[in-house]
A and B are shown apart, each in its own frame.
Chain A
Amino acid sequence: RKEVEQDPGPFNVPEGATVAFNCTYSNSASQSFFWYRQDCRKEPKLLMSVYSSGNEDGRFTAQLNRASQYISLLIRDSKLSDSATYLCVVNPSGTYKYIFGTGTRLKVLA
């Protein structure tokens, strides 16, 4: 089993739709969680960190479920510019490693 798993997609959604991605992780001692966005052939950029209590940044909401070992990303009112690959990243406790999922590709259609 991979340490971090994501559905590769693509998720094709119309503008204005709400879409959610999940990411599961296998190391229960994982401490820090992040969502990154990567545009085609570009470097990944931080979208948001994921806090235990859940957190929101505009149209984006991230949740952490430690019991089931997954994190989620919800995008409301999708825009064409949201089309990208979304990477889930986990930092296991006590390590200096960042473990990336393979990414979920989102296409927002006009």
Chain B
Amino acid sequence: EAQVTQNPRYLITVTGKKLTVTCSQNMNHEYMSWYRQDPGLGLRQIYYSMNVEVTDKGDVPEGYKVSRKEKRNFPLILESPSPNQTSLYFCASSQGPGRNTGELFFGEGSRLTVL
């Protein structure tokens, strides 16, 4: 079954404690990205990756890091989480932007609370 898998789905942590949210896709997609969703602000892109070892900042990259060492995995790293990073996070993948290949497949989301 084609899917994007995120872990953990739910996490409560404290300020400053490094954490990683993993994302894996089994569709051989070149494009992967991370979003955060906050009430009234919609989904905002944090980082994206066009292929292995190729990443770029989205609209809200501050406080986050990513890596793309393998095609299937795209972890999101919060080196020193702060309360303003409390949010619902989605990982997504696609063949690449464009009308015919641009469908984004989303993971189920990771709800992160930073105290």
Q: List 16 A-B contacts (CB under 8 A).
A: A32-B98, A33-B99, A42-B108, A44-B43, A49-B100, A87-B42, A96-B31, A96-B56, A96-B96, A96-B97, A97-B48, A97-B97, A98-B33, A98-B104, A100-B35, A100-B44
Complex Cα spacing A32 to B45, Å: 17
On whether A34 and B43 interact (CB within 8 A), knowing A42-B108, A91-B98, the answer reads no
User: Are A95 and B107 touching (Cβ within 8 A)?
Assistant: no
User: Are B42 and A46 touching (Cβ within 8 A)?
Assistant: no
A63-96 vs B, CB cutoff 8 Å, 1 = contact: the mask equals 0000000000000000000000001010100011
Complex: chain A residue closest to B96, CB-CB: A96
Q: A44 — which chain B residues lie within 8 A by C-beta? A: 43, 90, 104, 106
Complex Cα spacing A42 to B59, Å: 22
Q: List CB contacts (< 8 Å) of B51-97 with chain A.
A: 56, 58-59, 88, 90, 96-97
| B contact set with A: CB distance below 8 Å | 31, 33, 35, 40-45, 48, 50, 56, 58-59, 88, 90, 96-100, 102-104, 106-109
Q: B41 — which chain A residues lie within 8 A by C-beta? A: 102
User: Are B106 and A102 touching (Cβ within 8 A)?
Assistant: no
Interface size class of A (residues with CB under 8 A): 20 to 34
Complex: chain A residue closest to B94, CB-CB: A98
On whether A101 and B42 interact (CB within 8 A), knowing A45-B106, A49-B102, A49-B103, the answer reads yes
Complex Cα spacing A95 to B98, Å: 10
Tell me whether A11 is interfacial, beta carbon within 8 Å. Answer: no
User: Are A42 and B31 touching (Cβ within 8 A)?
Assistant: no
User: Are B40 and A102 touching (Cβ within 8 A)?
Assistant: yes
On whether A43 and B108 interact (CB within 8 A), knowing A96-B48, A97-B58, A102-B42, the answer reads yes
